Amino acid sequence: MEYVRLGKSGLKVSRISLGCWNFGSPNPPWGKAGKVTPEDSIQIIHAAIDMGINLIDNANRYTGGEAEEILGKAIKGKRDEVIVATKVHGEVGPGPNDKGQSRAHIMKEVENSLRRLGTDYIDLYQAHNVDWDTPLEESLRAYDDLIRQGKVRYIGCSNFPAWVLAKSLWVSDVNKLASFVSVQPNYSLTNRAVEKELQPLCVDQGIGMILYSPMGGGILSGKYEGSVPEGSRGADEPAVAEKAQRFQNGVNQLKDIAEQLDKTPAQVSLNWIINRPAVSSAIMGVSRLEQLQENVGAVDWKLSEEHMKLLSDAFPA
Ligand SMILES: NC(=O)c1ccc[n+]([C@@H]2O[C@H](COP(=O)([O-])OP(=O)(O)OC[C@H]3O[C@@H](n4cnc5c(N)ncnc54)[C@H](OP(=O)(O)O)[C@@H]3O)[C@@H](O)[C@H]2O)c1
């Protein structure tokens, strides 16, 4: 496994990381539905650690908190081998303060995440989204306090537009508060929106990008050719199946390159994305262990400049 610094921080993260969004039962009261049983999830997490993956991404609301409990069980006795990243923001209850980036919600939710994860510190605590109702200084002071208390080691954000991230860095700077070291955007060959503003900001400011949906929901595995496979995400989410059709020409180019290199389309698409500027790690969402085993084959080699360009042209920004 290859490791790089998370932005300009000293923390070394694996180029491929593991996401817990899929882990847990399908009908939680809050948060997204899961797909993988707790037993299979733990097997996948252990296999990921054995493959050298050290960064594992979670959120307080994934499968209503079950995903954090599963990760907590899986890392018992292995805590030091793992960089635990989790998030706070999304709705976790019916009350007016059961969501967002207020000091009240952050302070309450960090305790819930620590309990579910069975640990006394979170390596990377991320603001899951922008809270337009809370001043950035209030949230950043709360995060800074958590770092001083030893409950959190680094902070990051997710789904922040470039200007909000730039403002956050400025607020931290002028108030001498801890700064975000990373941002977690949606970025893949099928979604290159970050290239306009967020990515150049990250390059300039030394912010590490940790990518979600790096395979466009699975489209870049090439499995949607002609039909929607049973049990796939596209079978549950019509938008994924529709997107697969829209990107069919690009996927054909991806398959050609994969064949030339004796790699799979998934591996080639992931190699393209991890070699883009400012990218530290791409988070794998997997529904089966074999997918993870295939996807780690994206690391420890590099596409030529020519292939990088062919792919960039085949999936226009
Ligand atoms: N910050 C945020 O707002 C946010 C949002 C979304 C996700 N995330 C994080 O990012 C992680 C990954 O996101 P994502 O699940 O959308 O990523 P993705 O890589 O775009 O899609 C993953 C899906 O693609 C399919 N797949 C993966 N590898 C495959 C392979 N080798 N062959 C065939 N199919 C394959 C699987 O779906 P099927 O088998 O079901 O087809 C898998 O669940 C999440 O777990 C979560 O930690 C964060």
Structure confidence by residue, pLDDT tens digits, 109-134: 999 999 999 999 999 999 999 999 99
d(CA 282, CA 214): 6
Contacts with 6 (C-beta within 8 Å, 6 or more apart), sequence order: 12, 13, 124, 154, 181, 182, 208, 210, 280, 281
> What confidence score (pLDDT) does residue 185 get?
98
CB–CB of 46/77 below 8 Å?
A: no
Cα separation, 73 vs 11, in Å, equals: 24
* Segments of the chain scoring below 50 in pLDDT: none
Cα distances (Å, whole numbers) of residue 159 to 107, 173, 183, 193: 21, 21, 8, 12
For 195-247, write each residue's pLDDT tens digit: 999 999 999 999 999 999 999 999 999 999 888 999 888 888 888 889 988 99
Please report, as a single letter, which amino acid is at residue 113: S
CB of 246 closer than 8 Å to CB of 202? no
CA-closest candidate to residue 35, choices 231, 264, 205: 231
**62 catalytic per annotation:** yes
Q: Name the residue at shortest CA distance from atom 31 of ligand 1.
A: 291
Amino acid at 236: D
Residue 218: per-residue pLDDT: 95
Show me where the domains of the chain are located.
3-220+273-301
Residue in the structure block whose two tokens are 């793992």: 82
Show the ligand 1 pocket: residues with CB < 6 angstroms. 19-22, 57, 128, 158-159, 184, 212-218, 221, 223, 232-233, 266, 283, 285-287, 291, 294-295
pLDDT score at 164:
98
CA–centroid distance, residue 180 to ligand 1 (Å): 24
* Token pair for 28: 């939680």
Which CATH superfamily does the domain covering 3-220+273-301 fall into?
NADP-dependent oxidoreductase domain (3.20.20.100)
CA 41/CA 278 separation, integer angstroms? 30
The catalytic position among 62, 125, 212, 224 is: 62
Alpha helices by DSSP H, 247-283? 248-261, 265-274
User: 213, 160, 159, 195: which is closest to 278 by C-alpha?
Assistant: 195
